[in-house]
Structure 1
Amino acid sequence: MDYSWLATLLRVLLLFVAPLVFLTYKSLKHFKFVSIVDRIPGPWALPLIGNAPLMMRLSLSEMFQFMSTNAFTEFGHRVRFWLVDQPHVMITKASDCEKIMKGMQHHMKSLNYDLMLKEWMGEGLLTSKDDKWRVHRKILTPAFHFNILHEFLPILSKNSKILVEQLSQLPEYKSGKDFNIFDTVSLCALDIICESSMGTVINAQRSSQSPYVQTVNKLNELIALKYFSPRLRFNIFYKFSKVKRDTDYHLKVSADFTDKVIRERRQYLNSLRKENEAGREGEKKHLAFLDMLLDAEMRGEKYMTDKDLRDQVSTFMFEGHDTVTTGTCWALFMLGTHPEIQEKVVEELDQVFGDTGRAPTINDIAELKLLERCVKESQRLYPSVPFYQRHLREDAVLDDGTVIPAGCSVGFSVYRVHRDPEQYPDPEKFDPDRFLPENAASRHPYAYLPFSAGPRNCIGQKFALMEEKVVISTMLRKFRVEAAHKPEDAELQMSMVLRPKNGLRIRLYERTSHPHLAMQD
């Protein structure tokens, strides 16, 4: 008997049944995933588009208020959001942060970092993962050792002095009017990071119209536009947008500039090596971070491709520019808001520098303990990066049994973590003594996160703190700073860094009560 018809029937059934079984399995798996995620409290979300309608109707200022305060007031210390079909869980407790940050189990950065930063930074230290991250972190760590960092002090001092000169020439300073401190400090930070990371002097403070200066500033703006626009999160809309065209243009300017610097620094290091081999060792010059990587490559010890080098330099430029600018400006503003603390800092400067007017040494910077506490307290209240994220490839089980399933992004609301009254009594008060050793010892180790924590903490945090102390101390030796508005009047908004919509406005006055502290030529 011919049973070929049965084989044909089975093939037809399999053709229809197999996809149905597969789709059923995927649907049940997704339903289970969604049900676990939705056990975490959060705003009501629509199928497929999630909380996009809520986000789209909020301004950037309203979004910051909701994501930093209102959502947690309504739903508790963990809040779940759906951005389109992607679940995000925001956490605000130090113990929860530790669970995610402490080891390498959940070290992968959120997929949103690809959306925001990968075009510019490729697979630099901020965005890379797994073996590539481990190898590059190991290569880069020696470049940020304390014994290396102190060699950059002359660069910090030189550019801080230029900043004071530029501020002294502002019409607002001469007339006693207020101005936005971000504008001038940003250029100083850009000069410092270019010279320290690439060994290249761009004179941003004296030539703010240079193409590279404009490109770095524009890329920061374009990244924020892309990330916080629900429409541009879809590649089909982004691909044909003006934001994409502008981004491509500025990425090329940045890449061309960085590649040129890499070529020139290779030639420079080769010439130094030849001079040394010939016994004609010239004047010793400070090596930039890039030089250290190239020098290791030339010795055959460690290797990075030109793209790897460009990605790391771009990462330095992003992390060492806007973040340090933001931290410096908030610290100055808070000292201008609290003149009694500012005067104590000046007394400390007087004790360290006397009437010499000299540039700071590394020992001087270590002695500025009150200033350091002021910087840390400013970063507590106004962290340069108020939110960051990880992507879970495995389930995370928190202390109370709550499960955040694999596939979620976990967001750390640093702004809110730093205002936890259990860790910081009277959290809105500016109190630098919170960071006295005896006061800090009793706090949870993950209650202070301006530079992240755990294995993926910021590799440049010591450099950033040193830079902020040099810039601020140089300014306070010349000027008395006065805040032109209250901190609560600063309109905070969702952005890559905590830069208020209209900046931070201050007034500067020549420090006549301590004239010997003014920096000498």
Structure 2
Amino acid sequence: MDWSILLLYIIGGALVAFWLLWRYKNRRMIQMANKLPGPPTLPLLGNALVFMNRPEEILNKLGELMETYGDIFRFWLGPELNIVVKNPTDVRVLLSSTKVNQKGPVYDFLLPFIGGGIISGGPTWRLHRKIAIPTFSKKAVENFFPVFNKECEELAKVISQKGPATFDCYVDVLRSTTQSVNQTVMGLSKEDSVNLTRLEEFIFKTHDMYNLIFDQMTKWWLHVPPIYWLLGKKKQQDYYLKMIDDLTEDIVRRRKKALQVSEPSEECMGGVDRLILSGELTHKEIKEETVTLFTSSQEVAAKVAAGVLMFLAHLPDWQDKVYKEIIEVVGADGPVTNEQLKQLEHLDMVYKETLRYFPIGGMIQRTVMEDISIRDESITLPAGTSLVIPIHNLHRDPRYWEDPNKVMPERFLPENVKKRDPNAFVPFGLGPMDCLGRVYGTALIKTVVVWVLRYAKLEPAISLDNIRLNIAISVTSYDGYNIKASPRNGRINGLS
């Protein structure tokens, strides 16, 4: 017999034996999974071939499966059982449970970049989150407003002088939110903030880094190390890791040096300082959480703020409503306060519609640590299952959102909110692993919008019907956040 044929028999036999052994060990999970609807599976692969799509098509594929199998269905990625749950009531029950408070296996692909901490989960996430929480409290955010106001006014001056040409406002907004985050969450001085190693390179490469991570999450062949290396992905990863290391080393070094001289007051202390002073983290862990706090603050805030500005540019009636409200509540000049932001109801509606349309997380995954039942115990998710919550699809479910693909801030008028299941809108997640920076981010984003609208009149660049979505962890505008701007009410060179 030909040795090559014999080798194929041996490999095939080993795979069959592995598959049969796995099925025997996991027979209970398989039996429980078979009670749920879902696409037919292949041996060893499960439903992996179903998801062999471009990253931007993954959520569309999930949507197609939901139309076929309903709000709860299962699919297998190799030996990993995933159960998708979209019903709002079930989502709240599951995400609020202590039985589902560990991140799912897809977050393992974040580990080389940010370690096993606050976002990616792991044994230390509770402790690290507890240390960082005071930086994002309402009291702390109140003390950050002087920085917010200063940086956002500078941004408003820049945008108001753009002229008639179309531009991507995300670029300018990102630079502004980066400076705000550096001088608050990172605890840096303005001088240190503008001189950080590889800062400019990092903030504009983060999106490409997330694309790489999402590719690895969604393309099974990239899980094979030789293929990952041959396709040049390992080289890209090493580049990003070096860039992260250089930036975070500089931030932590500067803060450790500053803390030897004096400590900031408790109410104004940044997250990096808290991590350092706690004495609970190694130098490596501090750097990992530094990049976590950095990117989850400045980049996320910039995406959402740019989305709000783009929607206001394309919805002139809403821009007028928001602007008039700003003048009535805040005034044409002077600093913005958090109390004033809370009174801007029209701005809040546009902000929420932006979060619905461009969710911070397109989908989230959790590991079921213990069996958990829903719907009067008629459905049980077995321990070891990966729970998938398709936030993007939930936010566009026509049962809760009329014309879900249209931008309509009026969805969030009080009378419309009352008609809708409150759990159909979960932009910050739920439960113990919800978004840490929701108060901070909301304040910074709204401050950006107030200052920009006081200085600039925004105009559309394209039709909102032509927005293409990009899925790479969060949902963003594929073609950027393009608008036009001109000085408002005779403001010239940033002066009234």
Please state how far the C-alpha of 1:319 moved relative to its aligned partner.
Answer: 1.4
Q: How does 1:396-407 map to 2 (within 5 A)?
A: 396-399=372-375, 401-407=378-384
8 Å contact 1:335–1:342 — kept in the other structure?
A: yes
Which has the higher mean CA deviation after the structures are superposed, 120-129 or 248-257? Answer: 248-257
- Whether the 8 Å contact between 2:160 and 2:455 is mirrored in structure 1 is no
Conserved 8 A contact 2:183-2:193: no
Deviations 1:265-315 (A, max 9, x none): 122122125xx9xxxxxx9995422123334x3xxxx63222222122111
- 1:85-164 equivalences under 5 Å are 85-115=79-109, 117-129=110-122, 132-164=124-156
Contact 1:478 1:519 in 2 (8 A): yes
Contact 1:166/1:205 (CA < 8 Å) preserved in 2?
Answer: no
Match runs of 1:414-493 below 5 Å = 414-424=391-401, 427-428=404-405, 430-435=407-412, 440=417, 443-493=420-470
> For residue 369 of structure 1, what is the amino acid of its counterpart?
E
Deviations along 1:172-191, whole A, 9 cap, x unmatched?
A: x42x2323333332333333
Tell me the CA shift for residue 168 of structure 1. 4.2
Q: Deviations along 1:63-89, whole A, 9 cap, x unmatched? A: 33223x322222222232322332222
In the TM superposition, what are the counterparts of 1:19-418 in structure 2 within 5 Å? 26-56=22-52, 58-67=53-62, 69-115=63-109, 117-129=110-122, 132-169=124-161, 173-174=162-163, 176-200=164-188, 201=190, 210-214=200-204, 216-239=206-229, 241-272=231-262, 287-295=269-277, 297=278, 303-355=280-332, 357-399=333-375, 401-418=378-395
Deviation of 1:221 after TM superposition, in Å, equals: 3.5
Q: CA deviation at 1:461?
A: 0.4
CA contact (8 A) 2:362 2:391 kept: yes
Which of 105-114 and 204-213 deviates more? 204-213
Please tell me whether Structure 1 or Structure 2 has the larger radius of gyration of its CA atoms: 1
Structure 2 vs 1, CA of residues 480 and 118 (structure 1 numbering), >3 Å: closer, same or farther? same
| Other structure's SS at 1:403 match | strand
Q: Give the match for residue 482 of structure 2.
A: 505
**Deviation for aligned residue 1:429:** 5.5
Q: Secondary structure of the equivalent of 1:88? A: strand
The Cα shift of 1:506 comes to 1.9
Provide the C-alpha distance between the structure 2 equivalents of 1:353 and 1:241, rounded to a whole number of angstroms.
53
Q: Report the residue type matching 2:259 in the other structure.
A: L
The residue type equivalent to 1:257 in the other structure is L
Gapped runs of 5+ residues in structure 2?
Answer: 1-16
TM-score computed with the length of structure 1 as normaliser: 0.82
CA deviation after TM superposition for structure 1 residue 159, in Å: 2.4
Q: 1:343 to 1:224 in 2, by over 3 A?
A: same
What secondary structure does 1:485 align onto? coil
Q: CA offset at residue 440 of structure 1? A: 4.2
Structure 2: which amino acid aligns with 1:367?
Q
CA distance in 1, matches of 2:195, 2:348: 25
- Looking at structure 1, the residues matched to 127 and 196 of structure 2 have their Cα atoms a distance apart, in angstroms, of 38
Whether the 8 Å CA contact 1:480–1:509 is kept in 2: the answer is: yes
Task: Quote the offset at 1:451 in angstroms.
Answer: 0.7
Tell me the CA shift for residue 472 of structure 1: 1.1
For 1:506, what is the secondary structure of its paired residue? Answer: strand
TM-score, normalisation: structure 2 = 0.86
Contact 1:157 1:359 survives alignment (8 Å): yes
Q: Which amino acid aligns with 1:193?
A: V
CA–CA distance in structure 1, aligned partners of residues 150 and 73 of structure 2: 46
In 2, the alpha carbon distance for the partners of 1:87 and 1:334 equals: 39
Distance (Å, rounded) in 1 between the aligned partners of 2:328 and 2:313: 21
Query: Structure 1 residue 411: deviation in Å?
Result: 1.2
**Which SS does the other structure have where 1:321 is aligned?**
helix
Q: Where does structure 1 lack aligned partners over 5 or more consecutive residues?
A: 1-20, 277-282
Amino acid at match of 1:226: Q
1:438–1:143 Cα change, 3 Å: farther
1:477 counterpart SS class:
helix
Letter paired with 2:169:
I
**Cα displacement (A) at 1:120:** 1.1
SS in 2 for 1:407: coil
In 2, are the aligned partners of 1:395 and 1:406 still within 8 Å (CA)?
A: yes
Provide the C-alpha distance between the structure 1 equivalents of 2:56 and 2:203, rounded to a whole number of angstroms. Answer: 27
Q: By how many angstroms is 1:460 displaced?
A: 0.5
Q: 1:53 to 1:428 in 2, by over 3 A?
A: closer
Q: Deviations over 1:228-282 (max 9, x none)?
A: 3322123443355522222223212322331232222122122125xx9xxxxxx
Q: For residue 9 of structure 1, what is the aligned residue in structure 2?
A: none
- Kindly indicate whether the alpha-carbon contact (under 8 Å) linking 2:118 and 2:129 is maintained by their aligned counterparts in 1: yes
**Matched position secondary structure for 1:499:** strand
State the identity %.
25
Q: Which moved more, 1:243-252 or 1:191-200?
A: 191-200
Q: Could you tell me which amino acid in structure 2 is paired with residue 361 of structure 1?
A: T
For residues 371 and 231 of structure 2, the distance between their equivalents in structure 1, rounded to whole angstroms, comes to 37
Flag the 1:106–1:196 CA change in 2: closer, same or farther, 3 A: same
CA RMSD, 1 decimal: 3.3
Change in 2 beyond 3 A, CA 1:468/1:393: same
Contact 1:162–1:205 (CA under 8 A) maintained in structure 2: no
